[in-house]
Amino acid sequence: SKPEDAETEKDCKRRVKDLGEQWRDEARRRLRAAVMKAAPHQASLHLKFDDDDGKKAKKHN
């Protein structure tokens, strides 16, 4: 039998998915900050392809 505090597989998969989303959000935030610091004149080019779910950015790479 499993311990009482063990997560179900579904809970574990959800946590992994949530952590992945948090990681991508943080990576996107850091990239935006770096662009704004290093080349603010290029921000419109970067931000044009960066939407909430990243689909546009993936299509154009």
**For residue range 20-42, what is the model confidence (pLDDT) as tens digits?**
999 999 999 998 899 889 988 88
Looking at every residue in the chain, the average pLDDT score rounds to 79
pLDDT surpasses 60 at 61: no
Weakest-pLDDT range from 17-21, 40-44, 57-61: 57-61
Phi and psi for 2 in degrees, rounded to 5? -90, 155
pLDDT surpasses 60 at 1: no
What does the domain layout of the chain look like in residue ranges? Answer: 17-59
Torsion of CA 51, 41, 23, 49, to 10 degrees: 20
pLDDT surpasses 50 at 56: no
Q: What is the 3-state secondary structure (H, E, C) of 1-61?
A: CCCCCCCCHHHHHHHHHHHHHHHHHHHHHHHHHHHHHHCHHHHHHHHHCCCCCCHHHHHCC
